[in-house]
Amino acid sequence: MFRPKFGIEFAMPEYPLPDLIEMAKSVLNLFDFEQIWVTDNIQFRSSFVVLAAMALKLNCALGTAVTIPYPRNPLDMVSSFATLSELVEDRELTIGIGPGGHFYKTIGERIKPAATVRETVKITRALLNGEEVEFKDYPILSAYFHLKEEAKVKMAFTAQKGLPIYIAVGGPQMLKVAGELGDGVIYNMLTPVGSNVGIEKGLFKEAVEMMEDARKKSGFARKFRRIYLVHISVSSDVEKAKYFAKRNVCYAVAETPDSWLAKIGIDPNHVEAVRTAFRKGLGMDGAAKATTDEMIEALAISGTPEQCTEKLARILKHIQGYDQIILDIATVGSEMPKALKLLATEVLPFLI
């Protein structure tokens, strides 16, 4: 029988760092999570500071889910991860990386996402391994960060251990990058191919086959881990669970092309209402009000503990043998500790 291992993602901007650490300690006491993942959003508390604090206070694997190339000079990113490696001792520190989404489109240029991630993975791996790199080999990053192409650089210190790089995927190009270069892949429920409906319609199976084919063709022999990221909102109050799920889903819906959403049966007219809410400056609350139940049923899991257990069990049937399921808790504010406790005591124990 498949007994999944679970990680948990911490994306909680409303909590001060000391409170985050205490919350992490509490949830680890309630359930044996394999890994804690930290969202790398530059509007939130520094992911690297949060990870450093967790490395010193907690005894579990850590990682980013996910870090984004655009706001971070590659040298700064590598320096941060290499420094963190000195704190985790024998635990895994995972570099989860992806192209980012709606927020990064609104504040700056998000150029050539797949190609940018490709270059970032290559330069990160080389620098972490103590190699000297030439910026001319990374033309997209050199232009974006105004690095001199003729320059060469090598880190003055190396990471304490090999740091695996897992690549978050959505469309065909990112699937190829993950297969060719990743030490692992992170499939996301918020993407059409990774969604509940995408799984039912076979889109997920097609995506997995595409990634695996790219991996075989690459000839890059390495240990490879398969991760699936679930977005879940659990509450004893069904309507409250739905509301929090809608806050989580609205961003994904707003930035996903209509043609992709149509594949999972989401009405473009309803999607336009979500986008309009963002354009009018109504923020997440306004966009959540325009998000339909149909959208959250397709792209997230929400409900009572019993409902979430049943829905999550259906997903697990399709990801037999995966190395880890990351749980991103959609709840916010004072409801978060309650949701974490429900998840750890009334959902996950019935799935292992």
Three-class DSSP category at 226: strand
In angstroms, the Cα distances linking 60 to 112, 174, 228, 337, 345 are: 35, 29, 19, 20, 19
Give DSSP secondary structure letters for 285-309: HHHHHH--HHHHHHH-EEESHHHHH
What is the C-alpha to C-alpha distance for residues 267 and 289, in angstroms, rounded to an integer?
16
Q: Say if CB 170 and CB 157 are below 8 A apart.
A: no
> Residue 352 — very low, low, confident or very high, per pLDDT cuts 50/70/90?
confident
Asked if residue 138 belongs to a domain, the reply is no
Instruction: Render pLDDT for 262-281 as a digit per residue (tens, 0 to 9).
Output: 999 999 899 999 999 999 99
Q: Say if CB 81 and CB 73 are below 8 A apart.
A: no
Neighbours of 173 (CB within 10 A): 16
1 Cβ partners below 8 Å, 6+ apart? Answer: none
Number of domains in the chain: 1
In angstroms, the Cα distances linking 248 to 115, 277, 326 are: 27, 15, 15
Say what the alpha-carbon torsion angle 154, 159, 120, 139 is, to the nearest 10 degrees: 0
Q: For residue 308, is it left (φ>0), alpha (ψ between -120 and 50) or beta?
A: alpha
| Stretch 222-231: mean pLDDT | 95
Asked if residue 151 belongs to a domain, the reply is no
What is the C-alpha to C-alpha distance for residues 261 and 253, in angstroms, rounded to an integer?
8
What pLDDT sits at residue 138? 98
Domain range enclosing 243: 6-130+158-350
Average model confidence (pLDDT) across the chain:
94
The pTM (predicted TM-score) of the whole model is 0.96
Asked if residue 141 belongs to a domain, the reply is no
135 token code pair: 């910026």
Class of residue 158 by CB neighbours under 10 A (exposed 0-12, middle 13-18, buried 19+):
middle
Distance of CA 127 to the CA centre of its chain: 23
Asked if residue 140 belongs to a domain, the reply is no
Asked if residue 146 belongs to a domain, the reply is no
Instruction: Render pLDDT for 11-31 as a digit per residue (tens, 0 to 9).
Output: 888 999 999 999 999 999 999
Instruction: Render pLDDT for 126-147 as a digit per residue (tens, 0 to 9).
Output: 999 999 999 999 999 999 999 9
What pLDDT sits at residue 106? 66
> Residue 172 — very low, low, confident or very high, per pLDDT cuts 50/70/90?
very high
- Going by their DSSP bridges, the two strands 133-134 and 6-10 should be labelled as unpaired
264 token code pair: 């999972």
What pLDDT sits at residue 2? 75
What is the C-alpha to C-alpha distance for residues 107 and 5, in angstroms, rounded to an integer?
36
Q: What is the CATH number of the domain that holds 24?
A: 3.20.20.30
What is the C-alpha to C-alpha distance for residues 34 and 352, in angstroms, rounded to an integer?
13
Asked if residue 142 belongs to a domain, the reply is no
Instruction: Render pLDDT for 85-96 as a digit per residue (tens, 0 to 9).
Output: 999 989 999 999
Asked if residue 153 belongs to a domain, the reply is no
Residue 104 has pLDDT above 70, yes or no: no
What is the C-alpha to C-alpha distance for residues 189 and 169, in angstroms, rounded to an integer?
10
Least confident of 105-109, 173-177, 297-301: 105-109
Closest CA to 231 of 8, 2, 3, 4: 8
> Residue 1 — very low, low, confident or very high, per pLDDT cuts 50/70/90?
low
Asked if residue 144 belongs to a domain, the reply is no
